[in-house]
Amino acid sequence: MDKIKVMIVDDHQMVRLGLSSFLNVQEDIEVVAEASDGQVGVLKYDKYKPDVVLMDLIMDRMDGITATTTILGKNPSARILILTSFLDDEKVFPALAAGAKGYILKTSQAHEIAEAIRKVAHGEDVLSESVKERIKEHDHRPHERYDDLTTREMEVLREVAKGLSNQDIADTLYISLKTVKTHVSNIFTKLKVEDRTQAAIYAMRHKLVEIDTSEN
């Protein structure tokens, strides 16, 4: 039986050591690489091509969301599982919008982390119960109006929510970079948000980018 190849990206050596020690005794999982930050993780992904990347969020040089976006930009089939201590909206929604297949907390039991890796390796989306509750909580809040966004602005907003840069959006929608910047500015003004993270959260709340919240 082929083992699930895992790369751990975390800036705490003891965390990497603990995860590696546990995962390597699993019959079906093998840690093939470790990285101390997102930048190293991006480079090592290209070398080791792991089945699953276990990705921390807050790291020096390159954070987990940027690393996730970068890896998926080059490898659309990459499967990234966020493992973090943070549950705030500014971390959860952008990470999922960036393309992560799952989001679980470091307070999870070791066997729960291993099972999440297995599910992600098989193409399933995995969200911890705390994250699911966070998303459901937003679903029950009053929605802001976005009727005044143009069709093109809606398209740009969806791409922003996916974590794409202005240049990537321009390439995807076949419009100029200047036009994208204008649309993004208009979106911020109309939605009364200050940055791309808040715009991504808005898009998630209104289900402009789908998130699977079903039970696993």
Going along 12-133, which residue ranges are E strands? Answer: 29-35, 52-55, 80-84, 102-105, 126-127
What pLDDT sits at residue 63?
A: 93
Binning pLDDT at 50, 70 and 90, where does residue 110 land? very high
Q: Give the mean model confidence (pLDDT) for residues 172-181.
A: 93
Q: Give the mean model confidence (pLDDT) for residues 35-59.
A: 96
Query: Is pLDDT at 216 greater than 50 in this prediction?
Result: no
What pLDDT sits at residue 210?
A: 60
Q: Give the mean model confidence (pLDDT) for residues 67-95.
A: 89
What pLDDT sits at residue 212?
A: 47
Query: Is pLDDT at 214 greater than 60 in this prediction?
Result: no
212: Cα separation from own chain's centroid = 13
- Report the alpha-carbon distance of residue 113 to residue 29 in Å, rounded: 12
Residue 35 and residue 59 in contact, taking contact as beta carbons nearer than 8 Å: no
What pLDDT sits at residue 98?
A: 83
What pLDDT sits at residue 64?
A: 94
CATH says 4-138 is which class? alpha beta
- Report the alpha-carbon distance of residue 66 to residue 14 in Å, rounded: 23
| pTM of the full structure | 0.66
Domain 151-205, second-level architecture: Orthogonal Bundle (1.10)
Torsion of CA 88, 92, 97, 99, to 10 degrees: 160
Query: Is pLDDT at 18 greater than 80 in this prediction?
Result: yes
* Buried b / exposed e along 183-214 (16+ C-beta atoms within 10 A): bbebbbebbebeebbbbbbbbbbbebbebeee
What pLDDT sits at residue 151?
A: 87
Q: Where in the chain is the domain with CATH 3.40.50.2300?
A: 4-138
Structure tokens belonging to residue 107:
């307070």
Mean pLDDT of the chain: 87
Q: What residue type is assigned to position 172 of the chain?
A: T
Query: DSSP assignment, residue 101?
Result: S
Binning pLDDT at 50, 70 and 90, where does residue 139 land? low
Q: Where in the chain is the domain with CATH 1.10.10.10?
A: 151-205
What pLDDT sits at residue 137?
A: 64
- In percent, the amount of the chain with pLDDT more than 90 equals 58
- Report the alpha-carbon distance of residue 165 to residue 180 in Å, rounded: 10
Highest averaged pLDDT of the listed ranges 114-118, 124-128, 156-160 = 114-118
